[in-house]
Amino acid sequence: MKGKFCYAPVFSGGESYIQIEQCWEQHVANARYDVFQRISYILLKTLGCV
């Protein structure tokens, strides 16, 4: 999948960010849009919205 880019969640200092990474990188997680058009991830069995 080289050349394909995905959104990756980044957590730093109590804040959350979205970073563009190559899809094959290890920390890229599956995401979805929720009904409020936020990007949401399930990380460590917890739903997180960014």
Share of the chain above pLDDT 70, in %: 96
What's residue 13's pLDDT? 92
Average pLDDT over residues 18-45: 80
Domain boundaries, the chain: 5-49
Quickly list H helices, the chain: none
**3-state DSSP percent of the chain in helix, strand and coil, to 5:** 0, 55, 45
Average pLDDT over residues 15-24: 85
The pTM score is: 0.56
